[in-house]
Amino acid sequence: MKTYRIITLNEFIIERQSEFPYAKGELTRLLHHVGIAAKIVHKKVNKAGLVDILGEVGSTNVQGESQKKLDVFADEQFIWAMRASSECCGIASEENEGTIYFDDSLSKDGNYIFCMDPLDGSSNIDVNVSIGTIFSIYRRVSPRGTKPRLEDFLQPGVQQVAAGYVIYGSSTMLVYTTGKGVNGFTLDTSIGEFCLSHEQISTPEQGQLYSINEGNYVHFPMGVKKYIKYCQEKDDDSNRPYSSRYIGSLVADFHRNLMKGGIFMYPQTAASPQGKLRLVYECNPIAFLAEQAGGKATDGKQRILEIVPKHLHERSPFYVGSTNMVEKVEEFIEQNPDNL
């Protein structure tokens, strides 16, 4: 009888490191340390209701949002892990206005920079809704051994060498890509290892789910309004109406649509004329994963991964998921230009 043996994240990374176009151990160490930080954050998130780690630190992050202790904790853990990897020389994080750089001997020669939203959807922590860490890895473009420059962090998404997310949900999963497909690992707490559970994830080119905050409907571009109505109409192939599914936590909404097929949309609204989601550490990593799984990601007009960021925390309208659905909403947007 064939005995099934689990493949741990570290074993998988080492097995696949020959696919990585740079020095073998570098990516291995980076992703290994992402895994360590994810396990530490998992432990805290899982007990959030039990220990006094809820509630607000009292400070606010660069977005003006009140920081909950878990945001700060997660930010610290991933910064620590990246420093410890000795491969990362700098970090951009949603929780920090400026970039962080490591000038200690261990890390200042690192070839990589790390961009992250350490705990996205944290407003859901208190109500036990899935939340996530989103990350993106680039090779630095400034000279090795010098202080990283803003240009290292404002590269277009096509330059990502790896990207992924951790979803802290009914189970904790790490899902990542290095440009050779998308693989998912589920944390087995009995052995403290992320184990390969979803190999070569491929997202359906057509889905039945659409995800958008319809509370903003009146402010959406006309093309988006028409697409939402299209999703709600019955058609003769009985594909539609689609079901609306919206959690309000990007990683949770995206992960469900990635696995089942669907589209996630966050258009520009009155409150967020450029969209709400951040290009560098939310849209780009999710877009890389979507494309690697056979899906698509645009700002409604252009490929997300080709946008050259101008500012670290800049926002972008975001449409991501099953290719047919993203192309359909782009069609509606093109046919219904807004006289902005």
What residue ranges bind ligand P6P (CB under 6 A)? 120-121, 123, 213, 248-250, 253, 276
Cα separation, 331 vs 321, whole angstroms = 15
Q: How far is CA 222 from CA 129, 273, 335, in A?
A: 31, 14, 9
State how far the alpha carbon of 309 is from the alpha carbons of 52, 234, 264, 283, 301, in Å: 38, 40, 21, 11, 16
Residues composing the chain: 340
Asked if residues 14 and 29 have their Cβ atoms less than 8 Å apart, the reply is no
Paired with 88 in beta bridges are: 112
- Residues whose CB is less than 8 angstroms from the CB of residue 76 and which lie 6 or more positions away in sequence, other chains included: none
The candidate with the shortest Cα–Cα distance to 267, out of 326, 221, 211, is 221
Asked if 245 contacts 311 with a C-beta cutoff of 8 angstroms, the reply is no
Task: Check the CA dihedral 229-284-310-104 and report its sign.
Answer: positive
Cα-Cα-Cα-Cα dihedral sign, residues 78, 93, 26, 254: positive
We find the least distance from the C-beta atom of residue 254 to ligand P6P, in angstroms, to be 8
Nearer to ligand P6P, 252 or 333 (CB): 252
Residue with Cβ nearer ligand P6P (110 or 207): 207
Instruction: Give strand pairing partners of 92.
Output: 115
In this structure, which long-range contacts are made by residues 23-30, counting pairs with CB atoms below 8 Å and at least 24 apart in sequence? 26/87, 26/111, 26/112, 27/87, 27/137, 27/161, 27/162, 27/178, 29/85, 29/86, 29/87, 30/82, 30/85, 30/87, 30/88, 30/112, 30/114, 30/137, 30/162
Q: Least CB distance from residue 278 to ligand P6P, whole Å?
A: 8
3-state secondary structure of 264: strand
Q: At its nearest, how many Å lie between ligand P6P and the CB of residue 122?
A: 7
What is the biggest distance separating any 2 CA atoms in the chain, rounded to whole angstroms?
66
Closest to ligand P6P by CB, 8 or 61? 61
